[in-house]
Structures are given as C-alpha cells and as structure tokens.
Structure 1
Amino acid sequence: MQTPLDFLTKGTRANPPRPGFTKADQKHMYRMGKVQELKRNYRPLSALSFAVVLTAIWEYLMIANTEGLTNGGLAGLFWSYIWTFIGFTFVEMSLAEMASMAPTSGGQYHWVSEFAPPAYQQFFSYVVGWMSTLSWQAGNAADCFLTGTITQALLVVNNPDYEPQRWQGTLFVFAMVFVLYIINIWGHDFWPRIQNGLMVLHVLAFLAVVLTLWVMAPHNTSKAVFTEFHNGGGWPTVGLSLMVGQISAIYSVLGSDATAHMAEEVRDAGRYVPLSLFWSYIGNGLMAIVFLITYLFAIDDLDAAINDPSGYPFLYVFKSAVSISGVNALTIIVLLIVSAANVNFGASTARQTFAFARDKGLPFSSWIAKVDQGKEIPANAILLSCTIAVLLSLINIGSETAFNAIISLQVVSLMFTYACSLSCVLYRRIRYPDLVPTARWSLGKWGPLVNAIGLVYTLFAFFWSFWPGSTAINAEDFNWSVVLFSGVFILSLIMYYIQGRKIYRGPVKQIRMARLSI
C-alpha cells in the first residue's frame, strides 16, 4: 500500500524521482502540495556560502553610499547603518522562521497565502506575488547596472579624458546579463560547487580593502566620523536629512532573504535555509560595520568624495590610498564578488518568478513555470529574467533618471512584501496559534515580539524609501518610486480582477495537513 509520500520518493513517469532530498524535504513538499522538480544541488555549507556571497552587505555599502554621505555625512551614514542593521535583524529572524515553516521558492507570497485571514488569502497573496516578482526583477537589473557603471567609472580613473556614455554603460550591463544567463543555464551543476571558494574570496577581498585603507589611506578624526553630520539635500533639519540618507544602509541589506527562494534546491531546506539566511546576514552585517568605520576614517574630504569625477566616492578613497594600479586591483576584486552576487541574485529572481508562475499568478504561466527535464532547472524563468534585465537597461540610454526610478522600485516593493508577510504571520500567531506550522528554526515564545518589532521597522523603512534625495523638486532629483509603486500596485489589482481571481487560488489551496515529525 502506498503512503502519501510515495509519489515524492518513487516518482512517476511524468515526474521521475529527484535525488538529493531528505525525508524532511519530502514531507515539506508534500504538505505544501508541490512536486520535487528541481535538483537539490546545495548542501548545507554551499547553501551558506551562496547566501554569504549574495548578501554581500559590505560590498554594496561600499559601492552605493553616495546618498548616505550626501544626506547625513560620515556620522549619518554610520549611525543609519547601525540602526538599519539592528532593525532589519528582527525582519531577518522572522523571514528565517517562515522559511523553516514553508521552505519553498515562492517566499513571501506563499507565506502570505498560508498565514493571512482566510477571506483575504487569495487576494493578498496575488498582490504580494506581483510586487515580489517585479521587485526582484528590478533588483536583478539594478545589480547588473551597478557592475556596468563601476566598470565605466574605472575607465574614468585610468583615462580622465574618457567621457562615459549611457549607451556604453548599457552594453556593459548586457555583458553582465550574458554571464548571468550562461552560468545559470549551463553552470547549474558546477556553480554550487564553487560557492565555498567564492565565500573565501569574499572574506579575502574584505581583508584586502580594510587592511589597505588602515595602512595607506589618510585618516580622519573620531569626532568627524561619529559626531559630524551633513545636510547636502537642503532639508530644513539635519535629522530629516539623516532619515532620507538612510536609504544607502537599507539598500545594502536588501535581498538577504534570497536564499529562501532557492529552498527547493537546498538539501534539508527546512533546517539549512533559515540557518544560511540568518547567519549570512549576521556575518556580513558585522563585517560591514568594520568596513564602514575603516572607510569613513579614510574620507579626508567629504565634498571631494561625493563629487569625484568617477561618480563613486569609494574610488576617491581608493585613489587617496594607493596608486592607479592599486585602485584597479582593489576594484576588480570587488567587481568579481559583486558579479558572483549578481549571478546568485539572478538565480533567486528566476526561482521566485518560476514559483509564482507555477501557481498561475503570471500571464503565460505554463511556459514560465516549465522545468527543463534534462537540467532540472526553470530554464524559461531564467531566460525571462535575463530578458527583462536587458529591456530595463535599455531605458538607461534614454534617461538615467527613469532607470534609477525602476531601481528604487526594488526597495519599496520588497519592504511592502516584508510588511505583508510579517503582518500575516503575526496575525496567525495571535489569532490561531495552534495552526502555525512546525518550524525547526523557531523563534519560540519570542516569535510575536520579534515579528512585531520587525513589522514596525519595515513600515518605518517603507515610509522613508519614498522620499527624494533633496528639496530640489525636479524630474532629475524626484524619487519616482512612489509613482512606479502605485502604478505596479494598480496593475496588480487590474490583473487580479481580469485574470487572477478566476485562475489563481494561491498555495494555501494545495496545503495538506501532514505531521512533520522529523
């Protein structure tokens, strides 16, 4: 006589058994009503390495701190990162526990579907699914764009007569997307095997940058680094400027939940996905504090750093510490890590898109959710994600402001999905505590408090993410994220009433009651 789990263990002709998953993985997939279609290539250590490389907080804080230095200055960037790291820790703990409860590539929209009030599960899950999909797609394009513009900036450092053109930067983005596609399609087996090496490179790059700045860069005073704030946006008060400038710190920690979207490719995901998610965040976050203090002490002229011809303050710092050859070496090392993070981010983006399409949340869902049976990867979702990144990067040719607006969509949309997820799991904890799924990585009795603090911080960050960088209200400086977020939100509502409410039932309709006695 067959057990309810035999179809996962033994498979069928249409869905042959996939090697590598554990009994716990089988039970989780059965409870969530999913068939194991993807190969579980990631062992515990490679899953942690994947998360560490992708999170890359100190690297992103280094390359994207102009807004924080402009609005807040040295002290502002430091203290805004400290409270962001502390506040987001509660978000991260909550996401890790939900990833243990339901280790699925769907992430936020799946958790909302499981934990929201029954009357609103379908609607909330659909809207969150759209916002999550579009935010990850925007983030995928943004990360590729960063590598392209940093390459151009390095050309400026080596040749001051070079005048960067937007179309050239777009070509560099194309190159990054091409690498991302090749590795995610044809490198799907070897890529997990080199994650441990990439994590070592991530640590070595950190040591190379920090030690170089300690020894060779000019040094600022402690008073300047920790107590002197800067209001470069023309705001009425320094405090208001500081709130606006915290976007640099917020951006650096975004995407730290990406490992959750790889859950169906991690062995014993209910245990090791939350461990990877949480400890990669803590480790990277602490490294970022050490880096940030070192970096801020090395900025001897704030205005010169902000207005460096390269467009990146970190290149000004590198130039003040080492020769042009040294600048090239340090920047290339960082670019390698960021490029690897882009590949990992692109993989997570494709899996989230694949999962939402599998639940019929997107147009052409059957094509997007198709799994390559030979490679055991969502090849069409990867192709779609790369195509969207290319199309979004074309906008940069016409207007950098328009492209930056799309980038800003990532921040507000992700914060929206986090807020919805935390709200729903907190609701379930308070209203129906007996129906909260078993989690091997559990917050226990502290769960409601952690969820509540995480929710408050998420709403706080969500509010400030809409603010422009200065009081100069014009098309170039305006923060268009409010327009794009509203537009995408309205689009998701239209899609729900046209298509979603008819064919989308949400993951909760497939949930089975199964005892996870693991």
Structure 2
Amino acid sequence: MSGIHDAPNGEAVPAVEDKLHFRASSTDVSKTYGLDGVDDTDATDDIYSRANAPRPGFTKSDQKDMYRMGKLQEFRRNYRPLSALSFAIVLTCVWEYLLLANTQGLIDGGLAGLFWSYIWTFVGFGFVVLSLAEMSSMAPTTGGQYHWVSEFAPPKYQKFLSYVTGWMSTLSWQAGNASGSFLTGTIIQSLLVINYDWYDPKAYQGTLFVFAMVLVLFVVNIWGASWWPMIQNGLMVLHILGFLVVLIVLWVCAPHQSAKAVFTGFTNEGGWSTMGLSVMVGQITAIYALLGSDATAHIAEEVRDAGRYVPISIFWSYFGNGIMAIILLVTYLFSIASVDDALNDPSGYPFIYVLSTSVSKAGVNGITSMILILVVAANISWNASTARQTFAFARDNGLPFSKWIGHMHPTKDIPANAIFLSCMITALLSLINLGSDVAFNAIISLQVCALMMTYSVSVGCVLYRRIAHPELIPTARWSLGNWGVPVNVIGLVYSLFTFFWSFWPNTVPVTLETFNWSVVLFVGVLVLSLVMYVFQGRHVYNGPVTDVKAPRL
C-alpha cells in the first residue's frame, strides 16, 4: 500500500515523504488522485495513506471515518484514550462548577431544591449524553451537532436545520467559554474582598479580571497547544485530589445542618408564586454544572481511534463526574449554616461563606486558589473545544468570513484565528457585567438555551433516521443498540423541557437589572442566522452530508 505501513500495534503509520497540505471534499480528493468511479472501500486506504501523511497518530479506523465523512486530517491526533478521557473530565469540572456557581439554585429552591433538581437533571440529561455519545461514534467529527443534523435530518430540511444548528452550537459554546472566564475573573475579585477590608469591588474591575483570564486562554491555546494534551492526566489527578480535600475539610470542620433541612427544606427567595415554580427556575444551577460532556466530540479529529474513545470519554466523564458531584453537593448543603447569610456574603459567592465558617482565612485562600487553578484549566480546554467547533462550521462555509475563521495555522496545526475570535467574543460578552448585576446568570442561560436547542434538533434527527430509515444509520462502534429509540425519545423530551426553563429570570418582579438578557441575545443570534441563511448561507452552505461517502436519501 503506497505511502503507509502498519505498526506492530495495528495503527497506521504515515510515511514521512508525503507532505500534502490541503483541504477538499471527498469528491475533490477522488479527482485529485484520479479515483473517479473507484469503489470507496478500495480507495480509502490509498487516499488517506497520502492525504493524511503530515498528521501523525491516526489509526485505520480514523482513516475510514474521515474518508466516509469527506474530511481530510488537518489536526494532529495528540490525544490518546486516557488523555481524551482526562480532557473531558477536567473540562466538565462538575463538582467545581456546582460548588462555585450555586447562587441561583439557593435563591430558587434552597437546600432541598438544589439537591433534588440536581438529581433529576443528572438522570434526565444522562439520556441526552447517551444519545450524543452514540452520534459521536457514528460520525466522530469536530463539527458535532450540526454535522449530525446534516447526516440524519430529512433530506428536504437537512441544509436549513444543519445551518441553524451550527449557528446555535457556535453561540452555546462561545457563551460557555465566556461563563468560565467570568467565573474565574470574579472569584479573584472576591478573594480581594475577603482579604482586604479597604477594597471596594467595582463591576469594571471584575470585567478587567475576565480580560486577564482571556489572555491566559489565548496564550496557552496558541503557544501551548502541543503540550496541553500531555498534562491532562496530571490535571485529572489534581481534580480528584481537590475533590477529596474539599470533602474532608467540610466533613471535619464545617457546622452541619440536619438531614431534614437538606432534603426537605425548600425555600423561595426569588418571589415566585409557588415553590414548584421556584425550583423549576433554580434548576439552572444543576444544568450548568453538568454541561460540556460532549466537548470531546469537538476535538474528535485530534483523538486517536476517535470512533471508539470519544464516546467512551463522553460517557464516563459525565457519569463519573456526576456521581462525584452528588457526594460533594450533599456535603456542601449540610455545611451551609444559613442560606440567607450565604447568599448575602460580601464575596458574592456562597461557597466562600461556607469555607469561612469552616477554616481560617488562609484556608479559604488556599482551597479557593486550588479550585481556581482547576477551573482555569477547564476554561483552557473549553476554549480549545469552542474554537474547534467554530473552525469546523467555518470550514463548511457556515459563518461569515469563513475563509479567515476556518484557516489552519500552517506550522502549529491549530485553528489560530478561531481561537482569537473565541477570546474576543468572551471579552465582549463580559461587558454585560458593566450594566447588570446578574450578568453571569444571563450568560449561562444563553449557553443552556442555545445548547439545548442543538441537542433537541440533533437527537430528534437521529431518532427520525432510526425510525424511518434504520438501514441508513452509520455503524457505531459505541452503540445504544435496541435501546436507541427510547433513549433518544427521553433525551429529546428532556432537552425541550430544559430549553423552556432556561429563559426565566432569577427573581420577580422583573426589573431592567434583573431581566434575563439571554432571551434577547438568543433571539438576536437566531434572527441573524436566518437572515444570513437567506442572503448567504443557502448559496454557499451545502451541509457536511454532501461530502459523506455513504448511501443517503
């Protein structure tokens, strides 16, 4: 076989003499090598032995997947199975996010509301994650949801649905990218509050701290991209050790509530007409903490043997982190001596109040700094996934200035322009903080509603294909089997349920300052995507399915 040979472990090893740097659809590749009319199966290895040579690390399964999807290997596959799992575990950081960002859950629902909303969110969202994991095995591509919609939607609607899903996916990941930096930036500001009595925090100062966090993301993802996969396993160890440290400190040192208060003590500080409505609004805390397990799908083209290990990393990062978070959450709720005092703490973060009732100021600084390091690491990985999703959509001509956004750096093999754009969008979204005290809630609500829309459409499309044309479902090495239909149905229902609640404000009555601005941003981007589709998208965007080397209707 020309230009490739098998390693002892069965992986495809590229020949060094083949130095081809270009991108094309599968049809273009066939024309380039004079393979028109040649059977796809016979041509696969020959095409990819040459076209993928500059990008080491792929296996034969990766070759076949990329060829079937009509994509060339542009990234280096630097993530081994364990580092891919570590990447997903550290990026999702469920117990950290649940500990840091639980204000809304405590306002709307209290101790019991936060606990029970997390439990049903963990179960319900699990069906969505299972569906996403299977689709990532069917089509392991950086594009994720918009690609899956393009493959599985009814042919009449695939182009339009894929285009809108791509815009919403880009919006959701960009909002998530901003929320992480906002969180770390304002926590630094809170540490100043508890350490210096003279410090009077201002909104613009918090925004400046967010800018500093954005600079860290940019520097690491541009100049540290080659070594970042190598430290993921170490970060996962730190993630587990940090969990144990916080758990033991709260078990041993914190004052403890009664079990009755934790599991049955619902409160309604948001002013809603009923307790049930309050808890529904407060579930955004649990939803936000559990988002992001599909991040590995957006680095699929950098994972070795992606069709197998990307879904594994999605599955185990969700359920492993989710169970750890249950243990941490119960411990944390037992340690909140007063919900009112926690919500009114000068730092602005209830967890800092809990730590201050448990350990000295030095202990608060040490534990918070450790958690901060973990969340900054998660933000770096989140920025990497965000940039790659944005790059992939631009690669398929889905965004304005697609040629620039979809440019691959010629020596670093990273989407440098997409990384820069993602950092700039985070900086712009952080400006909401200057005009609203609930900017963080608006950003996470924007992330949730946009992401749930993409989940609803992609799961709905694979459900349609599974029922209407099961013979056209791609082979998945990680498959739901006969459970596919019920899992997809429950996942679809849960996604729509969460989408509905993501737009609600934190408290009533609603004022200009407490209004949930996510609905404005969401509708604005949705309208923009529709306008772009009418004037540009329908002329230049065909959807990834047009490149797929597989039978389709």
Q: Displacement, 1:16?
A: 4.6
- Aligned counterparts of 1:484 and 1:372: Cα–Cα separation in 2: 31
1:425 to 462, 466, 472: 462
- Aligned counterparts of 1:8 and 1:352: Cα–Cα separation in 2: 25
Q: Does 1:295 align with 2:332?
A: yes
- Per the alignment, do residues 146 and 194 of structure 1 end up closer, same or farther by CA in structure 2, a change over 3 Å counting? same
Q: Check the 8 A contact 2:218/2:423 in 1, yes or no.
A: yes
Aligned to 2:86: 49
Q: Displacement, 1:385?
A: 0.9
Q: Does 1:123 align with 2:160?
A: yes
- Aligned counterparts of 1:241 and 1:169: Cα–Cα separation in 2: 29
Aligned to 1:163: 200
1:5 to 20, 44, 59: 44
- Aligned counterparts of 1:503 and 1:257: Cα–Cα separation in 2: 28
Q: Check the 8 A contact 1:8/1:17 in 2, yes or no.
A: no
Q: Check the 8 A contact 2:94/2:325 in 1, yes or no.
A: yes
Q: Which amino acid aligns with 2:92?
A: T
Q: Does 1:236 align with 2:273?
A: yes
Aligned to 1:186: 223
Q: Does 1:217 align with 2:254?
A: yes
- Aligned counterparts of 1:178 and 1:299: Cα–Cα separation in 2: 35
Q: Displacement, 1:471?
A: 1.9
- Per the alignment, do residues 171 and 7 of structure 1 end up closer, same or farther by CA in structure 2, a change over 3 Å counting? farther
Q: Which amino acid aligns with 1:348?
A: S
- Per the alignment, do residues 7 and 187 of structure 1 end up closer, same or farther by CA in structure 2, a change over 3 Å counting? farther
Q: Displacement, 1:219?
A: 0.6
2:184 to 129, 139, 147: 147
Q: Check the 8 A contact 1:100/1:270 in 2, yes or no.
A: yes
Aligned to 2:57: 20
Q: Check the 8 A contact 1:9/1:17 in 2, yes or no.
A: no
Q: Check the 8 A contact 1:406/1:481 in 2, yes or no.
A: yes
Aligned to 1:97: 134
- Aligned counterparts of 2:542 and 2:221: Cα–Cα separation in 1: 30
- Aligned counterparts of 1:238 and 1:413: Cα–Cα separation in 2: 27
Q: Does 1:439 align with 2:476?
A: yes
Q: Check the 8 A contact 2:288/2:444 in 1, yes or no.
A: no
SS in 2 for 1:372: coil
Q: Displacement, 1:398?
A: 4.3
Q: Which amino acid aligns with 1:309?
A: P
SS in 1 for 2:43: coil
- Per the alignment, do residues 401 and 289 of structure 1 end up closer, same or farther by CA in structure 2, a change over 3 Å counting? closer
**Cα offsets for 1:99-149 (capped at 9, x unmatched):** 000000000000000000100000000000001101111111111011000
Provide the aligned length of Structure 1 versus Structure 2.
512
**Cα offsets for 1:167-222 (capped at 9, x unmatched):** 21122112111111111111111111100000000000000001000000001100
- Aligned counterparts of 1:338 and 1:240: Cα–Cα separation in 2: 31
SS in 2 for 1:296: helix
SS in 2 for 1:468: coil
SS in 2 for 1:5: helix
Q: Check the 8 A contact 1:10/1:17 in 2, yes or no.
A: no
Q: Which amino acid aligns with 1:459?
A: L
SS in 1 for 2:293: coil
Aligned to 2:452: 415
Q: Does 1:354 align with 2:391?
A: yes
Structure 2 unmatched ranges of 5 or more: 2-34, 36-41
Identify the structure with bigger relative contact order (alpha carbons < 8 Å, sequence gap 6+). 1
Aligned to 2:362: 325
- Aligned counterparts of 2:543 and 2:304: Cα–Cα separation in 1: 25
- Structure 1 window deviating more from structure 2 (258-267 vs 152-161): it is 152-161
Q: Which amino acid aligns with 1:87?
A: G
- Aligned counterparts of 1:66 and 1:448: Cα–Cα separation in 2: 36
- Aligned counterparts of 1:457 and 1:10: Cα–Cα separation in 2: 43
**Cα offsets for 1:18-65 (capped at 9, x unmatched):** 110000000000000000000000000000000000011111111110
Aligned to 1:176: 213
Q: TM-score, normalised by structure 2?
A: 0.91
Q: Displacement, 1:266?
A: 0.1
Q: Which amino acid aligns with 1:188?
A: A
Aligned pairs for 1:352-431 within 5 A: 352-401=389-438, 404-431=441-468
SS in 1 for 2:77: coil
Q: Which amino acid aligns with 2:164?
A: V
- Structure 1 window deviating more from structure 2 (247-256 vs 79-88): it is 247-256
SS in 2 for 1:479: coil
Q: Check the 8 A contact 2:284/2:445 in 1, yes or no.
A: no
- Aligned counterparts of 1:347 and 1:37: Cα–Cα separation in 2: 15
Structure 1 unmatched ranges of 5 or more: none
- Per the alignment, do residues 7 and 405 of structure 1 end up closer, same or farther by CA in structure 2, a change over 3 Å counting? farther
- Aligned CA RMSD, in angstroms, stands at 1.4
Aligned pairs for 1:61-140 within 5 A: 61-140=98-177
Q: Does 1:254 align with 2:291?
A: yes
**Cα offsets for 1:469-495 (capped at 9, x unmatched):** 122111111222222222211111000
**Cα offsets for 1:312-339 (capped at 9, x unmatched):** 0000000000000000000000000000
**Cα offsets for 1:252-293 (capped at 9, x unmatched):** 111121111000000000000000011011000000000000
Q: Does 1:482 align with 2:519?
A: yes
- Aligned counterparts of 1:459 and 1:91: Cα–Cα separation in 2: 11
Q: TM-score, normalised by structure 1?
A: 0.97
State the percentage of identical aligned residues.
68
Q: Check the 8 A contact 2:93/2:378 in 1, yes or no.
A: yes
**Cα offsets for 1:73-103 (capped at 9, x unmatched):** 0000000000000001100000000000000
Q: Check the 8 A contact 2:258/2:334 in 1, yes or no.
A: yes
- Aligned counterparts of 2:46 and 2:90: Cα–Cα separation in 1: 35
- Aligned counterparts of 2:95 and 2:421: Cα–Cα separation in 1: 29
Aligned to 2:10: none
Aligned to 1:283: 320
Q: Which amino acid aligns with 1:135?
A: S
SS in 1 for 2:50: coil
- Structure 1 window deviating more from structure 2 (373-382 vs 263-272): it is 373-382
